[in-house]
Structure 1
Amino acid sequence: MGEEELQPSVMFSFYFIRGMLLLFNLLLWLVGLLIILTGIWLHTDFQNYLRISEGYSIYVPYILLVVGGVLVFVASLACSCIVKIDPTMLVIYGGFLIAAMFTLILLSIYIYAYKDNVIAGLPDGIETEVKNYNAYQKSDTRGINATLIDFIQNSLECCGGQNHLDWAKNSLPNSCCWNEGATGNYCSANQTGLMHEVGCIPKLVRLINTNLTSIGVMLSVLALFPLFAMVFAYSLASATRRIGYQSIV
């Protein structure tokens, strides 16, 4: 009698736990997709703002792509063991979720450290671009990098590192001026009101700090999803053994 009265509540808890695990597994799949998209963004749209720094690393976007890809792949496979309710696979999945949680936390810390390295390398990177500007313009060996400083100065509406004085006299590139391309390849520092007065370093620091800090915070928050999923995975495995639930197809 008592067992019969408890059975409905026990089964309700069982199905509730499985439903929550399916929900968090879906969220984990979306987390992986978000990390993949972030890696793609860092490797495409945001790349040039980072490449001008001496602290730039080509590996960071690929690390994000790999981590996101693994999360998407495992979350896709995990749907099977959740639906069929295989206790052994659920325990293994829980172990993966623990590893995923710590991976996201460590990746968040790494992004913060990477941000500091990129910002610290900006002065040297811009100085190198300015000194070698003419050589890069005459050479095709650097591809997109040949106009890297021009891209930065155009998009951020800035000039030089701290200001236009970082450029040699009478050698300001057109990207330092509002009337770019109007006359010749260079603009004049005497063109009052037509030149970008602000240096690129302050704007780059603000841009990079804002975006990479946001990514670091995002990864820290996303680490909560595998944590909650892990709790439900172990709870479901325990409940399955306790009530002797048979695996289904």
Structure 2
Amino acid sequence: MYSSENLVSYACVRSLLILFNIGFWLSGLSLIWIGAWLQTDFENYLKISENYSEHAPGILIIMGGIIIFVTSLTCSCFVKIRSSELVVNGGVLITLLFSLISLSVYINTYKDQVMNGINDGISKEINNYNFSRSTNNDNLIDFVQKNGCAYKLKNVINKHFTALGITTSAIALFPFFGAVLSFGLSLMYNKGGGYEMIV
């Protein structure tokens, strides 16, 4: 027989797990949106860099798709509580936690690579236009790179990729708390003798 405290805590943990699952699903959707944005609108900014990679937006889209798939499957754990499904769900969430931390590190590394390649990319484009090698043009190009286009471009890329890195780090909190709640709900279920509490 369950005490009223157990019923309240069981309902609270189950409700929190459902809320975290919905939030995690929305974060997966946001990763897909950010990846699509990087492939379309922001791609022109990134292509200027010598170190541009076509894979970065795809990785975000794939990770968002995996999150949406996993959270959609997790909904079946809430309909009929089974301890084994909750433990598997917790394990998958821990795997996603480390994947999201790795993604955050990759984004910060990619940001640094893109920022370092901007000057080389601009220089390459300038050389492709076959400018004359007079000192006046060289000084003008250096001035533009330091105070104009390159400086503003670096600020825009730095601002957006820093926000993206912080976002993926914050999204990594969802699977952490989801795994803790999933394991906690599994323990509550097992304490009750394997019977689901009716609230």
Asked if residue 84 in structure 1 is aligned to residue 59 in structure 2, the reply is no
Call closer, same or farther: CA 1:163–1:227 in 2, change over 3 Å: farther
Give the deviation of 1:131 after TM superposition: 2.1
TM-score by structure 1 length?
0.71
Please give the secondary structure, in 2, of the residue aligned with 1:121.
helix
Task: Measure how far apart 1:102 and its partner are.
Answer: 1.2
* Change in 2 beyond 3 A, CA 1:240/1:56: same
Q: Is the 8 A contact 1:78 1:93 kept in 2?
A: yes
Deviations 1:219-238 (A, max 9, x none): 11111111111111001111
Does 2:199 match 1:224?
no
CA-CA distance at 1:111 after TM superposition: 0.7
Tell whether the 8 Å contact from 1:94 to 1:234 is kept in structure 2 after alignment.
yes
What RMSD over aligned residues (CA atoms) do the two structures have, in Å? 2.3
Residue aligned with 1:62, SS: helix
Alignment of 1:60 with 2:9, yes or no, is: no
1:205 matched to 2:180? The reply is no
Bigger relative contact order, structure 1 or 2 (CA pairs below 8 A, ≥6 apart): 2
Contact 1:105 1:223 (C-alpha < 8 Å) held by counterparts = yes
1:56 Cα deviation from its structure 2 partner: 0.8
Same amino acid, percent of matched pairs: 44
Structure (1 or 2) with the larger CA radius of gyration: 1
Unaligned runs of 5+ in 1: 135-161, 168-175, 177-196
What is the identity, as a one-letter code, of the residue corresponding to 1:91?
A: V
Q: 2: CA distance between counterparts of 1:20 and 1:198?
A: 50
Offset from partner CA, 1:140-184 (integer Å, 9 cap, x none): xxxxxxxxxxxxxxxxxxxxxx998339xxxxxxxx9xxxxxxxx
| Partner of residue 16 from structure 1, selected from 12, 21, 25 | 12
Q: How many residues are treated as equivalent by the alignment?
A: 189
Normalising by structure 2, report the TM-score. 0.88
Deviation at 1:198, TM superposition (A): 4.5
Secondary structure of the corresponding residue to residue 53 of structure 1? coil
Corresponding residue of 1:189: none
Structure 1: which 4+ aligned runs deviate by more than 4 Å? none
The question of 1:100 aligning with 2:79 is answered no
Unaligned runs of 5+ in 2: 131-136
Structure that is richer in helix per residue: 2
Q: Quick one: distance in 2 between partners of 1:92 and 1:29? A: 18
